[in-house]
């Protein structure tokens, strides 16, 4: 049985962007650092607006930041 889950590449993208901190990203998109931590750990799926803001920060299309993949159970 397989189920879909939202994953992301934020941690890698932050690292590639001059090792941007979680706090810097959080300030840029208007959320708390804890929310960025939860998104990176795939424990929280951001709203569409926050997802677009994150992709704007990295100047990448949404699908390069977030992926919708199957996860095997």
Q: By C-beta, is 22 or 65 nearer to another protein?
A: 22
Establish if 4 lies at the interface with another protein (CB under 8 A).
no
Q: Are 65 and 9 in contact (CB under 8 A)?
A: yes
**Closest listed residue to residue 31, CA positions, set 17, 59, 13, 10:** 10
CA pair distance 1, 8, nearest whole angstrom: 22
How many residues bind to another protein according to rule CB under 8 A? 14
Establish if 47 lies at the interface with another protein (CB under 8 A).
yes
Contacts with another protein by CB under 8 A lie at 30-35, 37-38, 41, 43-44, 46-47, 50
């Amino acid at each position: 049985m397989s189920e879909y889950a939202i994953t992301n590449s934020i941690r890698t993208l932050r690292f590639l962007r001059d090792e941007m901190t979680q706090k810097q990203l959080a300030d840029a998109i208007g959320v708390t650092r804890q929310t960025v931590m939860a998104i990176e750990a795939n424990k929280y799926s951001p709203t569409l607006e926050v997802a677009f803001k994150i992709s704007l920060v990295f100047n990448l299309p949404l699908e390069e930041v977030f992926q919708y993949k199957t996860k095997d159970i």
